[in-house]
Every structure is written in structure tokens, then in C-alpha cells.
Amino acid sequence: MTEVTVETSLLERFHAARAASIALATTTGLERSTALLAIADAIDARTDDIVDANGLDLANGRENGLSTALLDRLSLSPERVASLSASVREIAALPDPLGQTVRGSRLANGLKIDQVRVPFGVVGAIYEARPNVTVDIACLALASGNAGILRGGSAAERSNAVLVSIIRSALDSAGLPADAVQTIDDFGREGASALMQARGFVDVLVPRGSAGLIETVVSSSTVPVIETGAGIVHIVLDRSAREDWAVDIVHNAKVQRPSVCNSVETLLVHADAARRLLPPVLDRLAAAGVTVHGDEATRSIWPAALPASDDEWSTEHLSLDIGVRVVDGLDDAVAHIRRYSTGHTESIITEDLAAAERFLAEVDSAVVMVNASTRFTDGGEFGFGAEVGISTQKLHARGPMGLSELTSTKWIVRGNGQSRS
């Protein structure tokens, strides 16, 4: 295939997605949820095809020496396919974000102005070898009235191709344009580059995957990007922290699901409370199999800790490991967080009102907590229903993103002949 053919054909898909997005923008919520239910049914009905295609990807991955962890992410068993369709039905049941009036007023001259939610238009996604993201992003885009252009990892190419084909057929059968969901996996890296430069065709780009992937997309894209970043998440045990809350919350934040971005990575303990709190908190962690990487002060109190390495405080373990540091006080804790946090989530355990309010005011992260587990930073827990991701940037969306974060707004102005004087 020559380069010219590839580019023309990519451009055709971009055009088709743009055209489909215009049709989608004026659909009703009922039309979109009906289409999503049709997609869920089609995924169930074609479970065997999906598992077969995935089997080819898995065999290929084994040949290419993919790690066991990557092969696990890539794998779609019949049970995983069933949970995919279940999540599509959950998305279908969410309230329609479109048409909501965000702000509105009547001006002195009689003009009625209303800011209402509308779709972005076309949402692009660049992600790695997790075929579930294909279904997830496509259906979140559709639920919010957007067309989606998907570029998944090459290791999942066959699985993604079948899933996209199922989604497109179901859209067509439900009377919505099939072109609202496009894959460009067959264009390889060239497709990803074109997608990142597709200003005018693509309104927003959502990268999903490793820090390296997100960094590449942010640096290379001229399309605006919604960045979902890493979580170097901190818990601070203040001087006045209740021991039972400290023990339970730190255990929950580290152990309940260590592989996700809202799990705690660093524990900062007020020097005045270190002797009281570190033994029970760290004993509980150790009993759950957590490896503690402590600074000198921590190790003098709790000698089983390994010495923290130089890069401990900037490491996102995503495993049963935690860094522990004794700090001189709240100023020291906040300074540490400013230096090392990725701006995801930080929590303080305290009984001191002034300390709580200072922490909430001075720590600049997407989510700042008092006396709660960092694991609550989650779209589902926040009541948004869907999990679009956790934004760690400050533009447009910050923190857990629901369907409304996949929308823009426009202003509707209704007059009766007004001119400006």
C-alpha cells in the first residue's frame, strides 16, 4: 500500500467520523441508549467470534514474547466478554448529559442566553493492548453523542477489529450511523500520528495507558488532549490522627487494589506521632504482605522496613510496596507533596480542624481528602456511573470524569430583533 493511498483512506475515515458526529449530535438520549443496548446484545451474541479473534492475538503475543501481565490484559475469556457487555448496559442506563443547561439568564435588553451541553463531535482515543478499552471508549463516546476514532495497541488488533465491526453493525441496525465508530489500527504508527495531528477533524484526544504513552500523546498532539495521569498518592498522618482511622485507611488505600492509580504510594507521618502511629499502621500493612520502604527515622522506630531508595518518593509502585517518611510537621508534609505528587489524590488523617483546613487549601491536587481512603477517587464512587478516567490536568476536567466531561457547551441566544448599541 503506498503512502498516498494510506493517507487518503485515513482522511476518508476522519471525514466519515465527522459526518457521523453531525448526525449523532441531534439524536435523542433514547436513540443512543437503544443503540448501546443493541451493542451489548451483539457482543453477547458474538462472544465466540470475539474469543476466537482474541485467541489469534494471544498466540501472536506469545510468539512475540509478551509478558504474562500483558497477555493477561490482552486476554478476553467468555466471562470477560460478558462483563464487557454488562458495562455497556450500565453506560446505556446513565442519564443523558446532552441538552443540560449549565448556566442561563435573561439580559437587561431582553436577550435570553443559555449555555447548554453539546457533544465535542469526534473523540479520538490512543491506548495500549487492552481490548476492553475499545468497547469502553466507543460506548462512552456514543453515550455522550460523540463519534469515536480508535487507535488501540497492535497486539490487540484482531480483537479490536472484531469488536469495532460488532459495534458498527449494531449501530447500523439501531438506525445510527455505523461510521460513528472507526478504528485506524490497520494504519499502524502512521495512523496514530495522523490522529494526533487531526485538528479540525478530532475535537479531543484521550490517551489511555502507560505514562510513556500519555507523555508521547501530550507532546506530539496538536489536538487538545485530556490527560489521565499517574498517581503518586500521599496519606499524611497528622500529630492528632486517630490510631484506628490511620490503621484502617492506610491499609485500605494500599491493600484493597494496589495496581490502580488511586492507591497510596507514600505515607508521611508527623514526627510527634511517629512512635504512636507507625507500629500499628505498619504492622497491619506487613500482615497484609506489604513491603515498607522507610527513611531513617521510620526504620529507627520500625526496624523491619527496608531502606528507602533515592527515587522512592517519585516511584508509583502500583504494587504491595509503600514509602514511609517521618516529617517535621504539616509544612514539611505539604512541601514533600508539592515536590513529588502527580496531583492525583492526597489525604490527611487528623482530628485538628485547623490542620484539616490548611491541608485542603494548600494541597493542589485533583482530589484532596480529610479522614478518608484515597481509593474513593473514582467516577463510580463519586456517583458519575461511568469511569472515563481520572484527569490530572487542570484544563476542562480535573479528577474523576463522568459522561459530562466528554461534552462541550454552546451558547444559545434567543432575541426579538436586538442590536447592540
Distance (Å, whole) CA 396 – CA 2 = 39
Within residues 333-372, the interface with a second copy by CB under 8 A covers 338, 347, 356, 360-362, 364-372
Would you count residue 17 as binding a second copy (CB under 8 A)?
Answer: no
Contact (Cβ atoms closer than 8 angstroms) between residue 302 and residue 317: no
Distance (Å, whole) CA 1 – CA 104 = 53
Stretch of 215-223, 278-286, 298-306, 316-324 lying at the interface with a second copy (CB under 8 A) = 215-223
Instruction: State the nearest-atom distance from the C-beta of 61 to a second copy, in Å.
Output: 32
The interface mask with a second copy, positions 170-209, x = CB under 8 A, is -----------------------------x---xx-----
Give the residue, chosen from 6, 218, 286, 297, that forms a contact with a second copy under the rule CB under 8 A. Answer: 218
Give the residue, chosen from 233, 249, 269, 322, that forms a contact with a second copy under the rule CB under 8 A. Answer: 249
Would you count residue 15 as binding a second copy (CB under 8 A)?
Answer: no
CB nearer to a second copy: give 289 or 383: 383
Give the residue, chosen from 86, 111, 304, 353, that forms a contact with a second copy under the rule CB under 8 A. Answer: 111
Measuring CA to CA, how many Å separate 2 from each of 9, 171, 187, 348?
A: 11, 31, 12, 58
Stretch of 152-160, 266-274, 297-305, 391-399 lying at the interface with a second copy (CB under 8 A) = 391-399
Contact (Cβ atoms closer than 8 angstroms) between residue 243 and residue 277: yes
Measuring CA to CA, how many Å separate 41 from each of 37, 147, 167, 180, 344?
A: 6, 20, 10, 18, 36
CB nearer to a second copy: give 175 or 224: 224
Would you count residue 104 as binding a second copy (CB under 8 A)?
Answer: no
Q: Which residues contact 67 (CB under 8 A, 6 or more apart)?
A: none
Q: Which residues contact 265 (CB under 8 A, 6 or more apart)?
A: 231, 232, 233, 234, 315, 316, 317, 322, 323
Within residues 253-292, the interface with a second copy by CB under 8 A covers 253, 256
Would you count residue 121 as binding a second copy (CB under 8 A)?
Answer: yes
Give the residue, chosen from 32, 373, 386, 401, that forms a contact with a second copy under the rule CB under 8 A. Answer: 373
Contact (Cβ atoms closer than 8 angstroms) between residue 261 and residue 317: no
Distance (Å, whole) CA 324 – CA 277 = 12
Instruction: State the nearest-atom distance from the C-beta of 79 to a second copy, in Å.
Output: 23
Would you count residue 319 as binding a second copy (CB under 8 A)?
Answer: no
